[in-house]
Amino acid sequence: FESISNEKFIHASIVTISFVFFVVLLEFLIGFLIAILLNQVEKFRNIYYFILLIPLLINPVVVGLIWRMFLHPQLGILNYLIGFIGVEPINWLGDPKMAFVTIIFVDIWHQVSFMIILLLAGLSAIPKEPYEAARSDGAGILDCFIHITLPYMRPVIIVTILIRLIFAIKTYDLIYIMTKGGPGDATDLISYYIYRSAFISLNLGEAAAMSTI
């Protein structure tokens, strides 16, 4: 009961829910769109697969370190590039609202390949006969998508979103490397808050209770 009434725990839970919602939703939409486009490609498909897998193969700690350097307010390449179009340097990880958005962007960059690969596998398994029959009956692209693609893809979509939800809720590496839950508690996801409670504040009982919840 103390964990449930803990304001910091509640705040970390809200931040985590917001993070998971935006990350999973955007990754699904982007991943589904790219998967549909790639499913139409015949030439160099294996090369595209390899390029897509590169971010996913990088360790999350390395991803955090790379992007922390890219996003450095003075020395980062991102602020250097946007300076060419007259945009003032942005404190990507120092502003509370911007830090939350930045973490979402980095996670999408790292994990969207997972969505693409699974959804692309599902699309590749759909037989072509229903599409041919629908087109012969005068169905358009949107009709085929709604009445053929989505029904066939429903099991794959459910499993993909469920797996991604589980991993998103457990996100820890990026927060530890990039923001340490800051600035303030803007990116204090529940996994990192439990870690701080257990190994920094040494409230092992409270951390165990929060982990169970």
pLDDT in tens, 14-28: 999 999 999 999 999
41: phi then psi, degrees, rounded to nearest 5: -85, 135
Determine the Cα–Cα distance for residues 29 and 115; give it in Å rounded to an integer: 9
Q: pTM here?
A: 0.91
Rounded Cα distance between 15 and 208, Å, is: 20
Query: How does pLDDT run across 97-148, given as a tens digit for each residue?
Result: 899 999 999 999 999 999 999 999 999 899 989 998 998 888 888 999 999 9
3 falls in which pLDDT band (50, 70, 90)?
low
Average pLDDT, the chain: 92
Q: Which residue has the tokens 């303030």?
A: 184
